[in-house]
């Protein structure tokens, strides 16, 4: 397959569809130099973007957190996403909406004089972790930690927050792992590079409290599913050594969907009944 910059199709950019290869920005765009960018990753199933409006609302909230007023309303962005999806002819697809500070009068840290831009791209994307959905993903433990809320807007889906994710995932893949698990700045279990994490013990579910990382939309959806089934869910701080006593583990995210985990560092987990049940139920929900 060709690179993401060299494909057929169209991308919605600043109010109109343009040829895929023409969706470009200048090398002095502010976002490239100062990480003034936020984005959303979404999936369409059977021609419908799952929880589309929630993603759009979070996109605008993330932009607000970075002082980037989006020049489009939620309804306008929703219409743009639908238009872009329709233009691809795809029914199952990945949807990427990105907001950034473009090039303009400012080329220092400040960028208030530069336009806030928006683009939406849609493309086919299969299972994020490949065959891990069947046998369980293997995770490394990252050297980096999720930062304190006092240092950065941790609840924004901001591009700059993913720098340590890229570094950590590269190292994980070099070790034959699918991903890496972060601890937070206090040493508690946090999340993977692009997904939230859940554990099972004695029929109850434990998941890290999202007080310094993104409270994923898929995470929230899965918690609702578990509670609807009468399963107790503990949202709390989890110490790394507690992983030795957990029986099952899975990841959640728009790209990851619900992916079983078989190993994190030296800790191992079974791909158990509850993990499979939730993965199957989530698949049915998004295609309902």
For strands 37-45 and 137-146, give the pairing: unpaired
Residues 6 or more apart whose CB falls under 8 angstroms from that of 247 comprise: 200, 201, 202, 269, 270, 272
CB count in 10 Å sphere of residue 230:
6
* pLDDT digits 0-9 by tens, 266-284: 999 999 999 999 999 999 9
Contact 181, 187 (CB under 8 A): no
Structure tokens at 161: 């927050």
CB count in 10 Å sphere of residue 19:
11
The more confident residue out of 247 and 128 is 247
Per-residue pLDDT at 127: 79
Same domain for 229 and 95: no
Query: Which residues are the active-site residues?
Result: 157
Same domain for 139 and 117: no
Q: What average pLDDT does this structure show over 94-110?
A: 97
Angle 52-65/74-88 helices, nearest 10 degrees? 120
Same domain for 278 and 140: yes
* pLDDT digits 0-9 by tens, 162-201: 999 999 999 999 999 999 999 999 999 999 999 999 999 9
Per-residue pLDDT at 130: 74
Q: What average pLDDT does this structure show over 195-219?
A: 98
Same domain for 225 and 163: yes
Per-residue pLDDT at 36: 98
Confidence of residue 1 (pLDDT cuts 50, 70, 90): low
* pLDDT digits 0-9 by tens, 138-148: 999 999 999 99
Question: Final residue of a domain: which of 123, 151, 176?
Answer: 123
Strand runs labelled E in the chain:
10-13, 16-19, 37-45, 48-49, 93-101, 116-123, 137-146, 179-184, 189-192, 196-201, 204-208, 233-236, 248-253, 257-264, 267-268
pTM: 0.95
Angle 273-286/217-228 helices, nearest 10 degrees? 110
Q: Is residue 2 part of a domain?
A: no
Say yes or no to pLDDT of 132 above 90. Answer: no
Say yes or no to pLDDT of 128 above 80. Answer: no
Tell me the average pLDDT of the chain: 96
Per-residue pLDDT at 2: 78
Of the candidates 96, 160, 158, which has an alpha carbon nearest to the alpha carbon of residue 125? 96
Same domain for 278 and 177: yes
The DSSP result for 43-76, as a single string, is: EEETTEETTHHHHHHHHHHHHHHTT---SS-HHH
Identify the domain containing residue 217 by its residue range: 132-286
Confidence of residue 21 (pLDDT cuts 50, 70, 90): very high
Confidence of residue 25 (pLDDT cuts 50, 70, 90): very high
Same domain for 164 and 281: yes
Q: Is residue 4 part of a domain?
A: no
What is the largest distance, in Å, between two alpha-carbon atoms of the chain?
A: 59
Same domain for 195 and 94: no
Q: Is residue 162 part of a domain?
A: yes
> How many domains is the chain built from?
2
Per-residue pLDDT at 228: 98
Contact 188, 239 (CB under 8 A): yes
The DSSP result for 98-124, as a single string, is: EEEE-SSS--SS--TTSPEEEEEEEE-
Same domain for 190 and 274: yes
Question: Final residue of a domain: which of 123, 154, 189?
Answer: 123
Q: What average pLDDT does this structure show over 149-162?
A: 97
Q: What average pLDDT does this structure show over 4-17?
A: 97
CATH of the domain at 94: 3.30.470.10
* pLDDT digits 0-9 by tens, 221-269: 999 999 999 999 999 999 999 999 999 999 999 999 999 999 999 999 9
Same domain for 170 and 281: yes
CATH of the domain at 177: 3.20.10.10
Same domain for 19 and 82: yes
Confidence of residue 126 (pLDDT cuts 50, 70, 90): confident
Which of 210-224 are b and which e, b meaning 16 or more Cβ less than 10 Å from the residue's Cβ? bbbbbebbbbebbbe
């Amino acid at each position: 397959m060709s690179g993401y910059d060299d494909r057929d199709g169209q991308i919605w950019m600043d109010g109109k569809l343009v040829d895929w290869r023409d969706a470009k920005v200048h090398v002095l765009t502010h976002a490239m130099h100062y990480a003034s960018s936020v984005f959303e990753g979404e999936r369409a199933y059977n021609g419908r973007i799952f929880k589309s409006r929630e993603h759009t609302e979070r996109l605008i909230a993330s932009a607000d957190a970075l002082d980037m007023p989006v020049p489009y309303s939620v309804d306008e962005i929703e219409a743009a996403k639908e238009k872009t999806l329709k233009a691809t002819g795809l029914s199952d697809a990945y949807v990427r909406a990105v907001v950034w500070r473009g090039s303009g009068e400012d080329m220092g840290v400040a960028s208030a004089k530069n336009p806030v831009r928006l683009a939406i791209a849609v493309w086919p994307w299969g299972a994020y972790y490949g065959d891990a959905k069947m046998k369980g993903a293997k995770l490394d433990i990252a050297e980096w930690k999720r930062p304190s809320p006092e240092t950065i807007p941790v609840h924004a889906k901001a591009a700059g927050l993913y720098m340590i994710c890229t570094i950590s995932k590269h190292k994980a893949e070099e070790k034959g792992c699918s991903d890496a698990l972060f601890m937070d700045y206090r040493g508690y279990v946090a999340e993977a590079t692009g997904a939230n994490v859940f554990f099972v013990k004695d029929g109850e579910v434990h998941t890290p409290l999202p007080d310094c990382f993104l409270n994923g939309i898929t995470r929230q959806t899965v918690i609702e599913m578990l509670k609807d089934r009468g399963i107790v869910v503990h949202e709390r701080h989890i110490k790394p050594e507690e992983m030795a006593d957990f029986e099952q583990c899975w990841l959640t995210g728009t790209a990851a969907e619900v992916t079983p985990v078989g190993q994190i560092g030296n800790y191992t987990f079974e791909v158990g009944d509850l993990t499979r049940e939730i993965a199957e139920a989530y698949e049915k929900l998004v295609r309902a």
